[in-house]
Amino acid sequence: MYPKIITISREFGSGGRTIGKQVAEKLGFAFYDKELVDKIALTSGLSKEYIEKKGEESTFGNSFLHILAMDTGLNYEVVPLQDQLFTLQSNIIKEIAEKEKCVIVGRCGDYVLRNREDCLKVHIFADDNFKEKRIVELYGEREENPKKRLQKKDKRRKNYYEYYTGQKWGYAHNYDICLNSSILGVEECGQIIIDLIKKKENKG
């Protein structure tokens, strides 16, 4: 079965979003990154700002799966809003995947769609120097130095991923293909994915 859904997990500054956009455009697939935020906002009534900030952050402490396994009636009066948000955005991701050919960036897409055989799971990472330079070029200087900004953002993404999936972030086995964009080049990473999908399409 050829992939009609591509999930892209990415380190901050690695070019994962750019690669996803390139792949979607070249293949004529729908692209979901900020677009996913809009959809979630519309369904949930939550603000885009809240979803952007909390949609890739965990509530920490016990893992989400652990909390679900507990007798929530006794231990938790309400499910924390962030966990509700995770459930909601997972459902939206599943709906999108059911409906159309698409590229989905972040939000544990690989985990949410792990049982779909028509999903190609991509992880994009890069060396620190490359990422530091890239975030300054893209998002400008900040008071905080680029190294700290990277560490902070990736720590949050890592915690979020591990909290909701119970899997190790950046461990090859969670994905089908992992690419170092600082070595291979951002555009070349996109091309590898495009070629792969096209070949699979031709084989049916």
- Residues lying near a copy of itself in the complex (CB under 8 A): 120, 123, 125, 168, 170-173, 175-180, 183-184, 188, 192, 195-196, 199
Least gap, CB of 188 to a copy of itself (angstroms)? 7
- Shortest distance in whole angstroms from residue 169 CB to a copy of itself: 9
* Contact yes or no for 10/160 (Cβ under 8 A): no
Residue pair 154/12 in contact (Cβ under 8 Å)? The answer is: yes
Looking only at the bridges linking them, the beta strands covering 119-125 and 102-105 are: unpaired
By beta-carbon proximity to a copy of itself, the closer residue of 104 and 189 is 189
| Residue 110 CB, nearest approach to a copy of itself (Å) | 12
Least spacing, CB of residue 41 vs a copy of itself, in Å: 32
Residue whose C-alpha is closest to residue 122's, from 57, 179, 168 = 179
Sign of CA dihedral 179, 106, 173, 63: positive
Count other Cβ atoms within 10 Å, centred on residue 92: 20
Closest approach of a copy of itself to the CB of residue 120, in Å: 8
- Give 131 or 149: the residue with its C-beta nearer to a copy of itself: 131
Q: Give the pair of three-digit tokens for residue 161.
A: 């991923």
Nearer to a copy of itself, 86 or 161 (CB): 161
| Cβ closest to a copy of itself, residue 5 vs residue 40 | 5
Nearer to a copy of itself, 69 or 183 (CB): 183
Residue 36: CB minimum distance to a copy of itself, A? 24
- Give the span between the Cα atoms of 10 and 22, in whole angstroms: 15
Do you know the residue count of the chain? 204
3-state DSSP assignment of residue 53: helix
d(CA 7, CA 110): 6
The residue assigned the tokens 């530091």 is 132
